[in-house]
Amino acid sequence: MVRWESVSGYIQIHRRDVMYLALLVLILLLPLIVDSISTELTEFPEAWDIHLREPLDDFQRWTIRNRLTHPLFTWFFDPLSDAVDFSIRQIESVLLWLPWPVVVLTAFLLGQRAVGLRVALFSAFAMLFMGFMGLWDEGMLTLALMAVSVIIALLIGIPLGIMAARSDRFEAGLRPLLDVMQTLPAFVYLIPVLLFFGIARVPSVIATVIYALPPAIRLTNLGIRQVSPAAVEAARAFGSTGRQTLFKVQIPLALPTIIAGVNQTIMMAFGIVVIAALIGAGGLGNEVLIALQKQQVGRGFIAGMAIVFMAILLDRVSYGFSQQQTVSNAQHSHGFHLLPNSWDRFAVVRVFEQGVDLLLTSCARLSQAIAAGVATLVSAIGAAVGKREAVRDVANFLQGHAFLVSSVLLISGLLILHAFAPYGEEFPKAWVFDLGQPVDVGVEWMRDNIYQIGDTSIGTGPLSDFLLIYTLNPIRAFLQDWLSWPLVILGFAVIAYSVGGWRLAIFSAAGLFAVGLMGLWEDSMNTLSQVIVAVFITVLIAIPLGVLSARNDTVEAFLKPILDTLQTIPFFVYLIPVIILFNVGRIPGIMASVLYALPPGIRLTNLGIRQISNETMEAARAFGSTPRQTLFKVQLPLALPAIALGVNQVIMMVLAMVVVAGLVGGGGLGLLAVKGLANPMRDLGRGIEAGIAIVLIAMILDRITQTWAKNREIKGHH
């Protein structure tokens, strides 16, 4: 039992808060008092529907009719579209033309260069996996889409980030835009691009670029602004021009952060490239989509695995490069271990490790020798031509980049060989084996046995039913029927007012009202009820786990790789395991949301508690607090700002997932959006309306929880 005093001390109820609470309770009870009015008000008046979808559909029809003639298309969208399409085609055809062993080798070398042998082996494996599963072509297409999107996003994002760093005003203008962009669920980016670019790859790339742009801009800006003012001042004091300061001091020092931005851009781009299958982008995501639509779980599972492996590959390699940019240029640590260190007690492992070590050092020596040879050659040529000076730098560079030189030589060698004696055109058909079948069998078995274990009421089926009957349906009924729409809006307004004042209250009320005006009240309440249940479950799991991992290093060490992986996986993929376990409907969507949103919840709770200063904790202990007293009187109150931020992130991630769950029968706004994407000729207008509603709800939830989290922080600093 937690005693009331300790709780009240922790929550710090203020008189003002009590007043708002009472007001909310009053609103909840209002239907009891004025029962007759409420039944008539349950449904948002249909007469008020502004039918936004009609002009939208008209506009779409107009764009289709005028695509070939209107200057907006012939002079702007079409050339843009052609250029993007051309780039995708080129990159895809290069990737497909490359003999597959060369692609695998390149992945291996990138992994080796970025991190080390373990990641290199994993990268090679991830590529081979696609081959073995017969997904080679799909994988190359996905990679091509990614590459084009990332390159465009960086080409736009990095310069914008630099500009933002150099002009406070520009940053101030950009910031709210970026804030909103990062609030929106990935899904909604796909809808509007359809209007201008039609269906297929180009709109996917455009949506991906827009979605993945913010981290590139933000982290470039942040990196440059973080450069120590002392270094910038020194540069100025020596008479550097603005450009010299930028290129010689600011950008080099910001590089680790900029590359971290590249890493994030890549991961976000990958997330949406996969889901862009919805608008016909093809590739690996398409396999998942088909599997979801046709209920071929095995097929989706395999594609999902390929996507997960690819995501991990992309993350580890780009993260590895960002870590290497740190300034001190530390040498690679010696004594590399491929297998876990603890296995060293087995003689076989020791011998094996020695072998690996020997191999690695010989490779390093060999590449040094090759680079030195090339450098000498270049110097000799330079001397012969009489440009000794100019060539010396090149030779130095070559000598200093042995790995690069030998890799390039190796790959070019293989390509030249390919020109004379073609090999590896296609991944050998004979090597492909169909894992889908056995997986399907496994899934069948799981469904038969886990859905309901024996005759008991234990299993995913009963759990699902329980959630549906006792949480989801009552909450939806509560929002929709019991409270009726004016009270929901009023309730939100009261909460918003208590957190952030009039502006937030008006924004929230107006936003919800607009949702009603689009005729989406019912669907919105459906979605909202799912969000509430998923957030509740997530928080219920995340906070205790976060507390536990903050108080126990073993738990933290155990959770870290799991959370890392969960955060790397594109959210689309989460839908596969949950439909295996929970079939289709609203529950799998909620489960996927919980999985997806758990990591930030756990991480921020853990972080919030761990970052409490040692001195504070010692003081608590010095006064003889029990661990529980320390937790409730010191740790949780001090960690509250971080936890509040965690809740904010959980809500946003849950929302993003719940709408995608429209694909697996989640219903609500997500379903309308999916329909709009699947059949734009008929349902795009409705889809866009749903997209707008999602955006509005996302912004309202984000503003309220964000402001609330910020309030905690200010109080925490008193």
Partner 1 sequence: MATSESNFKVSCRKIWKIFGPHPEQVKQALKPDMSRAEILEQTGHVVAVKNVSFGVRAGETFVVMGLSGSGKSTLVRCISRLIEPTSGQIIIEGEDVTAMSEERLRLLRRRKMSMVFQHFGLFPHRKVIDNVAYGLEIQGVDRNTRFERARNVLKMVSLTGWENHYPGELSGGMQQRVGIARALAVDPEILFFDEPFSALDPLIRREMQDELLNLQKVMQKTIIFITHDFLEAVKLGDDIAIMKDGEIVQVGTPDQVILNPANDYVREFTKDVPRSRVLSARAIMKPCDVVCSENDSPEQVQSQLQTYLSPIAFVNSENGRFLGILSRAQVDRAVPTVNHTVRPLVHDNQPTVSPHTFLSDLLSIVAATDLPVPVVDSSRKLLGSVDRTAVIMALGGAVDSS
* Window 185 to 204, contacts with partner 1 (CB under 8 A): none
| Residue 331 binds to partner 1 (criterion: CB under 8 A) | no
Residue 127 or 162: the one with the smaller Cβ distance to partner 1 is: 162
User: Tokens 């107009």 belong to which residue?
Assistant: 62
| Residue 226 binds to partner 1 (criterion: CB under 8 A) | no
Task: Tell which residue, 491, 542, 504, 505, has the closest CA to residue 647.
Answer: 542
String of DSSP letters for 181-245 = HHHS-HHHHHHHHHHHH-SSHHHHHHHHHHHHHHHHHHHHHHHHHHS-HHHHHHHHHTT--HHHI
Contact with partner 1 (CB under 8 A) among 105, 117, 133, 249: 249
- Cα(435)–Cα(575) distance, integer angstroms: 19
Phi, psi of 316 (to 5 degrees): -65, -40
Interior CA angle at 174 toward 169 and 175, to 5°? 100
Piece of 286-294, 304-312, 323-331, 398-406 that binds partner 1 (CB under 8 A): 323-331
Piece of 38-46, 213-221, 243-251, 685-693 that binds partner 1 (CB under 8 A): 243-251
Contact with partner 1 (CB under 8 A) among 16, 40, 71, 328: 328
Residue 251 or 267: the one with the smaller Cβ distance to partner 1 is: 251
Residue 225 C-beta: closest distance to partner 1, Å: 17
User: Tokens 């609470």 belong to which residue?
Assistant: 21
544, amino acid identity = P
- Cα(30)–Cα(34) distance, integer angstroms: 6
Residue 255 or 514: the one with the smaller Cβ distance to partner 1 is: 255
Residue 217 C-beta: closest distance to partner 1, Å: 23
| Residue 390 binds to partner 1 (criterion: CB under 8 A) | no
In order of 113, 581, 600, the CA distances from 564 in angstroms are 21, 23, 10
* Window 25 to 84, contacts with partner 1 (CB under 8 A): none
Contact with partner 1 (CB under 8 A) among 128, 213, 235, 292: 235
* Window 433 to 452, contacts with partner 1 (CB under 8 A): none
In order of 126, 131, 142, 581, the CA distances from 105 in angstroms are 12, 14, 19, 37
Piece of 191-199, 250-258, 426-434, 578-586 that binds partner 1 (CB under 8 A): 250-258
Contact with partner 1 (CB under 8 A) among 6, 183, 244, 567: 244
Piece of 154-162, 249-257, 287-295, 366-374 that binds partner 1 (CB under 8 A): 249-257
- Dihedral angle at the C-alpha atoms of 631, 633, 637, 639, nearest 10 degrees? -30
Piece of 112-120, 239-247, 377-385, 600-608 that binds partner 1 (CB under 8 A): 239-247
| Residue 237 binds to partner 1 (criterion: CB under 8 A) | yes
Yes or no: say if 571 and 288 are a contact pair by the CB < 8 Å rule: no
Residue 183 or 244: the one with the smaller Cβ distance to partner 1 is: 244
| Residue 260 binds to partner 1 (criterion: CB under 8 A) | no
Using CB atoms within 10 A of its CB, is residue 125 exposed (0-12), middle (13-18) or buried (19+)? middle
Residue 309 C-beta: closest distance to partner 1, Å: 35
- Cα(526)–Cα(511) distance, integer angstroms: 17
Task: Tell which residue, 103, 104, 120, has the closest CA to residue 112.
Answer: 120
- Cα(372)–Cα(363) distance, integer angstroms: 14
Residue 231 C-beta: closest distance to partner 1, Å: 6
Yes or no: say if 351 and 381 are a contact pair by the CB < 8 Å rule: no
| Residue 233 binds to partner 1 (criterion: CB under 8 A) | yes
Contact with partner 1 (CB under 8 A) among 190, 253, 692, 694: 253
Write the CB contacts of 694 (distance below 8 Å, at least 6 apart in sequence).
Answer: 184, 185, 187, 188, 527, 655, 659, 669, 670, 673
| Residue 236 binds to partner 1 (criterion: CB under 8 A) | yes
Please compute Rg for the chain using Cα positions.
Answer: 28
Contact with partner 1 (CB under 8 A) among 71, 176, 239, 386: 239
String of DSSP letters for 283-300 = SHHHHHHHHHHHT-HHHH
| Residue 158 binds to partner 1 (criterion: CB under 8 A) | no
| Residue 230 binds to partner 1 (criterion: CB under 8 A) | yes
Residue 329 or 614: the one with the smaller Cβ distance to partner 1 is: 329
Yes or no: say if 156 and 641 are a contact pair by the CB < 8 Å rule: no
- Cα(683)–Cα(696) distance, integer angstroms: 20
Binding-residue pattern over the window 274 to 313 for partner 1, x denoting contact by CB under 8 A: ----------------------------------------
Quote the tokens at residue 663.
């694909």
Residue 252 C-beta: closest distance to partner 1, Å: 5
Q: How many of the chain's residues bind partner 1 (CB under 8 A)?
A: 20
Residue 79 or 400: the one with the smaller Cβ distance to partner 1 is: 400
458, amino acid identity = I
- Cα(399)–Cα(367) distance, integer angstroms: 10
Piece of 244-252, 342-350, 539-547, 635-643 that binds partner 1 (CB under 8 A): 244-252
Residue 118 or 392: the one with the smaller Cβ distance to partner 1 is: 392
Piece of 52-60, 152-160, 248-256, 525-533 that binds partner 1 (CB under 8 A): 248-256
- Cα(535)–Cα(646) distance, integer angstroms: 11
Residue 389 C-beta: closest distance to partner 1, Å: 8
Residue 98 or 251: the one with the smaller Cβ distance to partner 1 is: 251
Residue 228 C-beta: closest distance to partner 1, Å: 8
| Residue 332 binds to partner 1 (criterion: CB under 8 A) | no
Residue 328 or 613: the one with the smaller Cβ distance to partner 1 is: 328
Residue 238 or 420: the one with the smaller Cβ distance to partner 1 is: 238
631-670: string of b/e by CB count within 10 Å (b at 16+)? Answer: bbbbbbbbbbbbbbbbbbbbbbbbbbbbbbbbbbbbbbbb
Contact with partner 1 (CB under 8 A) among 28, 96, 231, 514: 231
Quote the tokens at residue 103.
């692609």
Piece of 143-151, 230-238, 334-342, 472-480 that binds partner 1 (CB under 8 A): 230-238
Residue 233 C-beta: closest distance to partner 1, Å: 6
Contact with partner 1 (CB under 8 A) among 36, 69, 329, 331: 329
Residue 327 or 348: the one with the smaller Cβ distance to partner 1 is: 327
| Residue 622 binds to partner 1 (criterion: CB under 8 A) | no
Contact with partner 1 (CB under 8 A) among 6, 240, 583, 629: 240
- Cα(227)–Cα(249) distance, integer angstroms: 8
| Residue 248 binds to partner 1 (criterion: CB under 8 A) | yes
Residue 15 or 169: the one with the smaller Cβ distance to partner 1 is: 169
254-288: string of b/e by CB count within 10 Å (b at 16+)? Answer: bbbbbbbbbbbbbbbbbbbbbbbbbbbbbbbbbbb
| Residue 327 binds to partner 1 (criterion: CB under 8 A) | yes
Contacts to partner 1 by CB under 8 A = 230-231, 233-241, 244, 248-249, 252-253, 255, 327-329
